[in-house]
């Protein structure tokens, strides 16, 4: 690990390190606290559950070094070779598991996106439909606490792809991101809109506040974005992920806005999702024709990667929804620990 340098610690807004969940996450947290190389058994990564709490927390912590870092952790850790080596091994374990779960995944954009463009007749498996129909305020609070790990950095992992695009794909991507980051107004940044939603729900809006509450299925959805965003080789998958999110957002956001209104969550809570109904309906067309179409016009060989990014996103969102539904069906919490 590099020596600690004066003034190299993260900003005061950086979150605290999360509590370890096993050998790998313990190795990461101890390395970040001590500035020593991470220590773990030789077989720890190959034997780790690729969907488990330990692997995904370790990966999440390593990815967060590229966002805001952590309180008291030297900023130089971001590029420490020992930590990067561990991150690469964890990524390989995660990526192999994704591909193993998607043996018959679509190979073309049309195959990947066609199911997303049609609202299913049966919405019983839809989490947003459940919240709209009979969700309770405590469930909306849990859902928001979980989603805060993404929405408080909404669009950040996607912006990494911009320098890796050219022509129409780059221009269209920047146009969408301009909206995501408030179109020049700090108070309109989508992450800030979500922070105000959290205020309405009586939640702590601090960045990374609910990591210790978040189970592995949620961490996996956040890790997927960082994985795609940080690797130039996965730029096609990142575009597929981004397109999937934008295409599926309007119907779900409409239902969640109604759920917030029905439960009396507050004007800001309802507004966040209402804003996404309108904005993402426009973004859907731009991302499909401008970003995806532009990318494949420039680099047609990336089509299978775009399809993989979309399929992996759907897979992980379904896994998360299944986790939440099972917890709520048993009248329990979907979180690892209850909210304050």
* pLDDT tens figures, 120-130: 656 777 899 99
CA angle centred on 319, ends 287 and 191, rounded to 5°? 50
pTM, two decimals, is 0.93
Q: How far apart are CA 233 and CA 261, in angstroms?
A: 42
Residues 6+ apart with CB under 8 A from 104: none
> Tens of pLDDT along 103-150?
999 999 999 999 988 876 567 778 999 999 999 999 999 999 999 999
Sorting pLDDT into bands at 50, 70 and 90, what band is 329? very high
Alpha carbon distance 317, 109 (integer Å)? 19
* Cα distances (angstroms) measured from residue 277 to each of 29, 80, 154, 221, 283: 39, 41, 16, 21, 10
CB atoms within 10 A of CB 204: 14
Cα(193)–Cα(268) distance, integer angstroms:
7
Instruction: Please list, in sequence order, all residues whose beta carbon lies within 8 angstroms of the beta carbon of residue 298, skipping any fewer than 6 positions away.
Output: 165, 166, 167, 169
């Amino acid at each position: 690990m590099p020596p600690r340098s004066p003034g190299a610690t993260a900003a005061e807004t950086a979150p605290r390190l999360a509590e370890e969940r096993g050998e790998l996450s313990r190795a990461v947290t101890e390395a970040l606290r001590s500035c020593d190389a991470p220590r773990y058994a030789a077989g720890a990564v190959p034997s780790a559950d690729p969907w488990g709490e330990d692997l995904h927390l370790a990966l999440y912590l390593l990815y967060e070094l590229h966002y805001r870092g952590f309180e008291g952790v030297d900023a130089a850790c971001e590029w420490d070779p020992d930590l990067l080596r561990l991150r690469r091994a964890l990524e390989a374990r995660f990526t192999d598991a994704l591909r193993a779960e998607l043996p018959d995944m679509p190979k073309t954009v049309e195959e990947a996106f066609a199911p997303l463009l049609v609202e299913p007749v049966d919405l019983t498996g839809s989490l947003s439909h459940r919240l709209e129909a009979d969700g309770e305020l405590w469930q909306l609070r849990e859902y928001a606490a979980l989603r805060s790990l993404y929405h408080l950095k909404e669009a950040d992992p996607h912006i990494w792809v911009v320098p890796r695009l050219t022509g129409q794909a780059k221009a269209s991507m920047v146009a969408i991101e301009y909206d995501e980051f408030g179109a020049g107004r700090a108070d309109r940044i989508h992450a800030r809109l979500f922070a105000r939603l959290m205020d309405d729900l009586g939640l702590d809006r601090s960045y990374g506040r609910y990591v210790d509450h978040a189970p592995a299925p949620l961490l996996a959805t956040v890790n997927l974005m960082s994985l795609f965003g940080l690797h130039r080789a996965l730029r096609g998958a990142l575009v597929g992920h981004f397109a999937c999110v934008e295409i599926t957002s309007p119907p779900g956001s409409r239902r969640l806005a109604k759920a917030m209104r029905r439960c009396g969550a507050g004007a800001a809570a309802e507004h966040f999702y209402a804003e996404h109904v309108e904005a993402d309906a426009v973004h859907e067309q731009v991302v499909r024709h401008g970003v995806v179409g532009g990318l494949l016009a420039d680099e047609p060989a990336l089509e299978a990667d775009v399809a993989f990014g979309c399929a992996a996103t759907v897979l992980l969102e379904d896994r998360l929804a299944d986790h939440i539904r099972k917890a709520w069906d048993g009248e329990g919490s979907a979180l690892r620990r209850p909210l304050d």
